[in-house]
Structure 1
Amino acid sequence: MTIDLISDTKTIPSKAMLEAMLNAKVGDDVFNGDPTVNQLQTKMATMFGMEDALFFPSGTMANQTAIKLHTQPGDKLFCDKYAHVYNYEGGGAAFNSGVTCKLIDGNRGMFTASQLEEAVVGRADIHVPFSRLVCIENTTNKGGGACWDFSELEKIGKVTQSNKLAYHLDGARLFNALVAKNESPKQYGQLFDTISVCLSKGLGAPVGSVLLGSKTHIQKAYRIRKLLGGAMRQIGYLAAAGMYALDNNIERLAEDHKKAKEIGKVLSTVSYVTKIEPIETNIIIFYVDEKIGAHNFIEKMATKNILLTPMGEGRIRIVTHLDYTDDMHQVLLKELQDF
């Protein structure tokens, strides 16, 4: 038995999800002729109370499309220093859109409205990039699955409005935050200009993200998606997996959160762990004694068929997900106690 806790992207479609995919009605989506993806897009837009939605093969492409539709080359976007759009999308903001990133030194991937105000204030002449966009990530990946306080997001929204900045949410793990904080999709739909939501992480679909926004934004996004090579054909098979995930795999995210907190509780009792980041959702980030070392710890656990991943700076990440069973959980807890 291999216990793969590298990421919640490692899930395999269940038999029921595969059955839904097998029975999907499909057509050519490039001509807006795939009924299942159209159904998914309508479902997502309705869920978030937004005008329209568009299916993408990846969260990175959805985020990069959002950046491009909100900016022009030479512009500037604001994000936390831990933000996925800056750290883990291959420099796409610069390559695809020609924009620069102003990094804010937040806490666990989250900054405050006052920090954004300080970053925005300053010169507005030909010597500096034009301020155009604010990007938020919820939950924060590098921040250990942390959830933003919604009232702070509202305050940030007011700063974006007063400074005429677009407001984008990278909601790769947004449903984890919604479940953990007992929030609703419509709260976020009312606040942000665009939102990307990943279906292939905790929700368990094999592929896909959805970008939400106004009809004008999504019409532009169609063109950008084509430009980036993301226009696909009979993608209803993939959209059917997303539909199944939305119908069946949201509420169960609480199970992943519960297991993550139980792992954290065990880690807090062992002498070789020196620090554990606060655990809110399905991501655990911790440090081990320097005499052991993160890479050595990960290698030792791999010999026991337990797969973890380094996050740099001595940080180790564990991510719980729907394929991480109760039996696997008990094995992991024992191995952590006995290490």
Structure 2
Amino acid sequence: MAIKIDLRSDTVTKPTAGMLAAMMAAKVGDDVFGEDETVHELETKLAGIFHMEAGLFCPSGTMTNQIAIKCFTQPMDEVICDQTAHVYRYEGGGIAYHSMASVRLLNGPRGIISPELIEPEINEDNIHYPNSSLVVLENTVNKGGGACYQLSQIEPIHTLCNIKGLKLHLDGARIFNALVATGDSAKHYGQYFDGISVCLSKGLGAPVGSVLLGSKETIKKAVKIRKAFGGGMRQSGFLAAAGIYALDHHVQRMSVDHDHAKALAAALNQVTYVASVMPVETNIVIFEVATGFNTENIIHLLAEKGIVCSTMGLKKIRFVTHLDVSPEMIDYTIEQILHLHPSLHK
């Protein structure tokens, strides 16, 4: 069998044997009627982990983010986020389409924004300006190479939002990667955010789903928005069971993925066809191709060796490690990186 090491994303994972067994044993009901006890268990479990009041299971992180934005804004409002933010770049223009809100973009280092960047961009009460109503953070920052917020960075943003009357939402697509890397406690997050989106289908390895966390009032509103978005699911406990299993078995092992990513980065820093590698904190490695070398040529040569990856903008390539990438696969990938011979000016 041909070698295939898929480093395109941590969304490509397959359920483990234990996860499949948990899915097949799930007790299910019609969740639109509120009768799926496994969905309730997942929502309650995650709400407890983050010290939030309630949760809502949805098909995707895009849906949980867009529901949250719609909960926290009105038409003619403005959302403040970094220019790299997933909610802005990769959710199909959903902020404009669903919420009829504009976006104020910041330029934080590796996507990490601060009160010093946010405060000058909060609009005063003036009929010419949209109403600044929501700040969105992303943890970890995808385009920032998996950069993490520390809780100590989040607290002053929360304080500023409170003073200025803005809501604060977290796109926690890879929040457990951040928690494992920083050592911060999930239970402290609930005091800072009005909404938290937790993705189950990335580093946690579940096949489908994200959970929106918030107050009971927010989640009551979110249920109706989810229905209007077409996100109501029936016997979705089979999918929720995968999320529960992942939370019980796949969190601490993320440190292995982080170590694998750092090992790949160390190898990339040794070769002439790489100009620079973003600092690696979690499971994402983004590197810039050196002048004279062709990005697509490097991706093609890696693919010939059975290693698949993706571009991340002009002259940038991304590797993402995950639970389906073994230590042996990392060793093989490093060997190929070190002995790859891309052509100049090709």
TM-score by length of 2: 0.97
CA deviations over 1:194-230 (Å, ceiling 9, x no partner): 1000000000000000000000000000000001000
Q: Which residue in 1 is equivalent to 2:343?
A: none
Aligned counterparts, 1:174-323, within 5 A: 174-323=175-324
Q: How much has 1:293 moved relative to structure 2?
A: 1.7
Percent identical pairs in the alignment equals 52
Q: Which residue in 2 is equivalent to 1:10?
A: 12
Higher mean Cα deviation, 291-300 or 309-318? 291-300
The ranges of structure 1 where at least 4 consecutive aligned residues each deviate by more than 6 angstroms after the TM superposition are none
| Count of equivalent residues | 338
Residue 266 of structure 2 aligns to which amino acid in structure 1?
K
Q: How much has 1:315 moved relative to structure 2?
A: 1.0
Give yes or no for contact 2:150–2:184 (8 Å, CA) kept in 1.
Answer: no
Higher mean Cα deviation, 55-64 or 288-297? 288-297
Alignment partners' CA distance in 1, 2:19 and 2:33: 26
2:125 aligned counterpart, secondary structure: coil
Higher mean Cα deviation, 127-136 or 111-120? 111-120
Alignment partners' CA distance in 1, 2:314 and 2:157: 29
2:23 aligned counterpart, secondary structure: helix
Q: Which residue in 1 is equivalent to 2:82?
A: 80
| Runs of 5+ unmatched residues, structure 2 | 341-346
TM-score by length of 1: 0.99
Q: How much has 1:290 moved relative to structure 2?
A: 2.7
Q: Which residue in 1 is equivalent to 2:328?
A: 327
Q: How much has 1:149 moved relative to structure 2?
A: 2.7
2:111 aligned counterpart, secondary structure: coil
Q: How much has 1:189 moved relative to structure 2?
A: 1.2
Alignment partners' CA distance in 2, 1:4 and 1:183: 30
1:312 aligned counterpart, secondary structure: coil
Within the candidate set 62, 66, 69, 2:68 is matched to 66
1:145 aligned counterpart, secondary structure: coil
2:109 aligned counterpart, secondary structure: coil
Give yes or no for contact 2:172–2:199 (8 Å, CA) kept in 1.
Answer: yes
CA deviations over 1:66-85 (Å, ceiling 9, x no partner): 00000011110100010000
Q: Which residue in 2 is equivalent to 1:101?
A: 103
Residue 64 of structure 1 aligns to which amino acid in structure 2?
Q
1:154 aligned counterpart, secondary structure: helix
Alignment partners' CA distance in 1, 2:14 and 2:114: 37
Alignment partners' CA distance in 1, 2:102 and 2:302: 39
Alignment partners' CA distance in 1, 2:114 and 2:44: 33
Q: Which residue in 2 is equivalent to 1:168?
A: 169
Q: Which residue in 1 is equivalent to 2:140?
A: 139
Q: Which residue in 1 is equivalent to 2:24?
A: 22
Q: How much has 1:165 moved relative to structure 2?
A: 0.1
Aligned counterparts, 1:106-125, within 5 A: 106-120=108-122, 122-125=123-126
Q: How much has 1:162 moved relative to structure 2?
A: 0.7
Alignment partners' CA distance in 2, 1:124 and 1:302: 54
Give yes or no for contact 2:173–2:199 (8 Å, CA) kept in 1.
Answer: yes
Alignment partners' CA distance in 2, 1:123 and 1:233: 45
Alignment partners' CA distance in 2, 1:209 and 1:123: 35
